[in-house]
Amino acid sequence: MTIYAILTVDLNGYVPEEARKTFERVLAERHYVKRKLTTVWMVQFTPGTTAANAERIMREHVALAASTAGIRNYEALVMVGEQPPIEWKKSAKNPLLEGLLGLQK
């Protein structure tokens, strides 16, 4: 069974832009996909990976990305499960509401 994981990381204190880019590159090289939400990454593990192994691997990847970028202070939160994450967004305009109120688009 495929394991899906969400990772969010706050890089604490002042972190130069170049260090942030290095951090992001290291995770991207390990198949993490950065979402449009500011600090959210998503990764998918192969069938047979346990949740405990996924967590251990993610800890290693974050530590590697941080050390490669020279970042020593960070916090991470992960969510691991068999269900892929659900993502959505709301645009500034709501056509349904505009139609109900008789407003022009």
Q: Any idea which of 24-28, 64-68, 85-89 has the lowest mean pLDDT? A: 85-89
Determine the pLDDT at residue 96.
Answer: 60
What is the average per-residue pLDDT within 96-100?
Answer: 56
Phi and psi at residue 88, in whole multiples of 5°? -150, 165
Is the pTM of the predicted complex or chain greater than 0.95?
A: no
Domain boundaries of the chain, sorted by first residue: 3-101
Domain spanning 3-101 has what CATH number?
3.30.70
As a whole number, the mean pLDDT across the chain is 80
21 has a pLDDT exceeding 80? yes
100 has a pLDDT exceeding 60? no
Determine the pLDDT at residue 10.
Answer: 75
